[in-house]
Amino acid sequence: MSQILEIKVPDIGGNENVDVIDVMVKVGDTVKVDDALITLETEKATMDVPADAAGRVTEVRVKTGDKVSEGSVIVLVEAAGDAAVSAPPTVAAVAEQAPAAPAGKLEVTVTVPDIGGHQNVDVIEVMVKVGDTVKVDDALITLETDKATMDVPSTAAGVIGRVLVKVGDKVSAGSPIIEVAATANTAAAAAAPAPVAAAPVQAASHGASPKTAYGNTPVNESIFNRGHAGPAVRKLARELGVDLTRIKGTGRRDRVVASDVKAFVKNLMQNPAAGSVPSLGGGLDLLPWPKVDFSKFGDIETIPLSRIKKISGQNLARNWVMIPHVTQHDDADMTELEAFRQTLNQEWAKAGIKFSPLAFIIKACVKALQTYPDFNASLDGENLVVKKYIHIGFAADTPNGLVVPVIRDADKKGLRDIAIELTELSQKAREGKLKPQEMQGASFTISSLGGIGGTYFTPIINAPEVAILGVCKAQTRPVWNGKKFTPRLMCPLSLSYDHRVIDGAAACRFTTLLTQLLADFRRVTV
């Protein structure tokens, strides 16, 4: 028996009337949970909206150019049999079922745990709504005491049937937060927390910090010692590369709210309004952007920036302002490599496979990233997230602007596979046919100007990555070999790196290894 489900636009950060710039499905398509359905564009970013149900698309309710908000219906999906049951239900479907729990499930009430004896604590953020599916330890609400903020995690997994608190409420230990339709096994494994008397502070072992009991899940007391910003605001600041300590909050007790972060970034990226000049701290203020009537000096033409240039321009400006860039330059002797490349091109010409210098550079970068994993990482607050995968992005020049396709799992692909994928992605980039997911997830980026010329330059890091390699056109130069000058094909390399993560010595080791690999490509296999 089939069931028709509505898939709607989820919470998109409070944005309203957001542009639909791409529709990736049509009637008759079969979608899985998390498959991208549409792409939205706000003033600051683009985002894919994934499916939260699996099945066959029976109707598409939006088209490119439409404007949508949270709750707008995107598609109708026919989910048959078990698929309809396993797919996450829509908000409307859950609302119709509440308060009765579905068959085979238990209704569990999640309450506020022991919060250090505090009473009547303010609820400053509610992070869930009816119909959401939560897992154990997912944050539900944020509380604020006189000294700190804290997240309250869920102690049960399931679908939320009722949310029992709202922003501005005051709660204490034992106050109900949500009701969850949880399966019997889940409910038994993660029971709702008892009142504070039944959830005492556990005795601390020697040398260990005391821990507060959140139901069956011990939580370190450091959860109470966070700065003056809620988790959603901290997440937004991380995504935008903003240091929260540089922002004066406008919330209660100078708390930084989302609008403060957005205003800070907007002031940095755009022309500041009269009398509103952003400060970079230390007494350094940005002057207003100069306004000039260029028509006074001659004929002009005003051409709107393309969508790609507007988005990439904002990202590049943010990255240049927020990341302390340092660039390490080096030269790679690619004489033998070029001879090998030409031989491969002759051998594979009938198969239509062309090996560009960039394919070899990508393969060499994979080896260098495996040797120095800090270059294949991202900075997240005070933590370095080192990735176990290697996805290489490469900057592609198109008529509409710069795009960065991504070769995923480059460490698991041979040179021939990389060469084929490079050709295919480059062609799609020039034709404007790249899908959003083909430009996401890069852990390291290469910007190659080898087909144009140049010597050295300073590429801007593609946040949240910590390094980017710039490549210019290889040129034949006289090189001293100890006895005489010989002609060698030398390729200029420019490695920009985030000095907060990588120091100069590490960057020099990275480029030195890279030049060794390109000089003798056999080293890549060692």
Strand duo 467-471 + 444-448: pairing = parallel
Q: Rounded distance, CA 214 to CA 194, Å?
A: 9
* Cα three-residue angle 461-467-471, rounded to 5 degrees: 85
DSSP type of residue 461: P
Distance in angstroms (rounded) separating the CA atoms of residues 48 and 382? 28
Q: Which residue has the tokens 């008529």?
A: 399
* Cα–Cα dist 281/242, whole Å: 13
Pairwise CA distance, residues 76 & 137, whole Å:
32
H or E stretch at 399: none
Cα separation of 486 and 476, whole Å?
10
Residue with tokens 């959830």: 199
Region of 56 please: left (phi>0), alpha (psi -120 to 50) or beta: beta
Residue 206 is encoded by which pair of tokens? 């020697």
By the 8 A CB rule, do 436 and 378 touch?
A: no
Name the phi and psi angles at 482, rounded to 5: 105, -20
Supply the angle between the helices 504-519 and 357-371 in degrees, to the nearest 10: 130
Q: Which of 192, 214, 419, 460 is nearest to 318 (CA)?
A: 460
Residue 17 φ/ψ region, left for φ over 0, alpha for ψ in the -120 to 50 degree band, beta for the rest: left
List phi, psi (to 5°) of 427. -65, -45
Is-contact 405 428, C-beta < 8 A?
A: yes
DSSP string for residues in 68-137: E-TT-EEEEEEEETHHHHHSPPPHHHHHHHTTSPPTTEEEEEEE----TT--SEEEEEE---TT-EE-TT
Four-point Cα dihedral 332, 463, 369, 413, nearest 10 = -100
Q: Name the E strands within 198-353.
A: 211-214, 217-220, 325-333
Q: Is 256 strand, coil or helix?
A: strand
499 as an active site residue: the answer is yes
Query: Tokens for 389?
Result: 């995968």
Distances from the Cα of 483 to the Cα of 296, 480, 486, angstroms: 62, 7, 9
Looking at the annotation, which residues are catalytic?
499
